[in-house]
Structure 1
Amino acid sequence: MRMVIARCEVTYSGRLDAYLPPATRLLVVKADGSVLVHSDGGSYKPLNWMSPPCTTTVEAPAETDPEGTQEVWRVRARKGEDELRVVVHEVLHDHSVDLGVDPGLVKDGVEAHLQVLLAAHTDTFGEGMRLVRREHMTPIGPVDLLLRDQAGAHVAVEVKRRGEIDGVEQLTRYLELMNRDPMLAPVRGIFAAQEIKPQARVLATDRGIECVVVDYVGLSGRDDPTARLF
């Protein structure tokens, strides 16, 4: 991960246009290629960002640039015309660190039990769905459930107690990597939770991910521990 504190201005163009005037901000570049622009406020949410898959190129400023620009970052989505353009006027701090492979999120009791229940009742996601395995490992962590649908295509399911944008981003990264594997592709995604926030649903729909709201209480009533091997 690279963390840069810089005086910069940011322009996003593509499906929407947005502009951040010059100010001191934190720029975060992650190993998966994503770039996030943070201010000293707003909790965890960045002011703007580009999600993977994307590519970043760094350009020198024009010789006639009157603003004292040091460099220009162009972060482009691999699909579509979206571009995040960061004009860096002054770098105050630049540090990189290797965080290694993250073990993934440790589930709480309800979330872990919900995953077990859904593995036992795959028809929750549609007729003919069958379980391939739980906790299918990807290079960046395990996706909760790997299923096959009636047509034999793979389906990756991410299970949350409360479905928020972070969960959709997590599933998006899993799908990107899984669809590079010719033994799995094509893989579609399902985001399953007891409650799914409207913003998360919009983002999931935009990325072709199906949302399923799960009735934990009702599903628990269907569960028969004597019929399961684990």
Structure 2
Amino acid sequence: MRLVIAKCSVDYVGRLKAHLPLAVRLLVLKADGSVLVHSDGGSYKPLNWMSPPANMRTLSPDDVDLETGVVEQWIVQSAKTDDRLIINIYEHISDSSHDLGVDPGLIKDGVEADLQRLLAAQIDLLGDGYTLIRREYFTAIGPVDILARDAKGATVAIELKRRGDIDGVEQLTRYLELLNRDPLLAPVRGIFAAQQIKPQARVLATDRGIECKTLDYDAMRGVDDSETRLF
């Protein structure tokens, strides 16, 4: 990755036109060919950019008749369209390159797979006497996150979401309709479990006889003791 701080003006030419007047900015050139123009504000979003694949040419005043004061011009050409990002540099303030290596990617915490694993190991969070039948119980329309039995021996299908919305309730409803056709499992009731459940989803679930359960992910993984919190 190359990081350049320079006094520059920027023009985007193509399907649309945009102009950034002369100012000091951060120019980021990534190994994938993308070029981003940042200011010292606006959070993470660049002022302008060219997405990969793209090719960049660097021109000096000796190469072409550049306007007065321009010491270098970058022309970043999209490989897919006629769009161009033209950066006129008037002064180089800083220029450094860094090899960041291969990034392992973002590892999300609290994803549905984690909730499923933790709830299967702590199935008693659903109530006393619950036992696990299996995780990822296969059906013809997809796997049910957790299939369990309650204290009375009745079958319970649990659908897990990080944020529970109406689509999740609809999904569990389809599973219940299919599972209740199996005489070895019926009657099957449902539990819609999530870290957060939207009010509309809770109303729909309740109307369909589906129980809602809010999960405390931090408490489940042992990094937060809910009993010692004031709120």
Instruction: Return the TM-score normalized by structure 2.
Output: 0.51
Matches within 5 A, 1:1-230: 1-61=1-61, 65=66, 67-110=68-111, 112=113, 215-219=167-171, 222=175
Q: Distance in 2 between matches of 1:59 and 1:81?
A: 19
- Rg larger for: 2
Structure 2 unmatched ranges of 5 or more:
116-134, 143-161, 180-231
Structure-2 change in CA distance of 1:121 and 1:71 (3 Å)? farther
**Aligned-pair distance for 1:37?**
0.1
Size of the aligned set, in residue pairs, is: 138
Give the RMSD, CA atoms, in angstroms: 3.6
**Aligned-pair distance for 1:84?**
0.2
Structure-2 change in CA distance of 1:64 and 1:53 (3 Å)? closer
Task: Please give the per-residue CA displacement for 1:137-168, whole angstroms capped at 9, x wherever unaligned.
Answer: xxxxxxxxxxxxxxxxxxxxxxxx89xxxxxx
> 2:194: which partner in 1?
none
Structure-2 change in CA distance of 1:65 and 1:85 (3 Å)? closer
**Aligned-pair distance for 1:79?**
1.1
**Aligned-pair distance for 1:80?**
1.2
Task: Please give the per-residue CA displacement for 1:83-115, whole angstroms capped at 9, x wherever unaligned.
Answer: 00000110000000000000011123235569x
Task: Please give the per-residue CA displacement for 1:5-57, whole angstroms capped at 9, x wherever unaligned.
Answer: 00000000111100001100000000101000000000000000000011111
Q: Distance in 1 between matches of 2:140 and 2:81?
A: 34
Structure-2 change in CA distance of 1:76 and 1:64 (3 Å)? closer
Structure-2 change in CA distance of 1:81 and 1:99 (3 Å)? same
Preserved contact between residue 2 and residue 95 of structure 1 (Cα < 8 Å):
yes
Structure 1 unmatched ranges of 5 or more:
125-160, 163-193, 196-213, 225-230
Identity %: 54
Structure-2 change in CA distance of 1:73 and 1:66 (3 Å)? closer
Structure-2 change in CA distance of 1:43 and 1:112 (3 Å)? farther
Q: Distance in 1 between matches of 2:42 and 2:3?
A: 18
Equivalent position SS for 1:215: helix
Structure-2 change in CA distance of 1:102 and 1:64 (3 Å)? closer
Task: Please give the per-residue CA displacement for 1:121-142, whole angstroms capped at 9, x wherever unaligned.
Answer: 9979xxxxxxxxxxxxxxxxxx
Task: Please give the per-residue CA displacement for 1:173-211, whole angstroms capped at 9, x wherever unaligned.
Answer: xxxxxxxxxxxxxxxxxxxxx99xxxxxxxxxxxxxxxx
Equivalent position SS for 1:109: coil
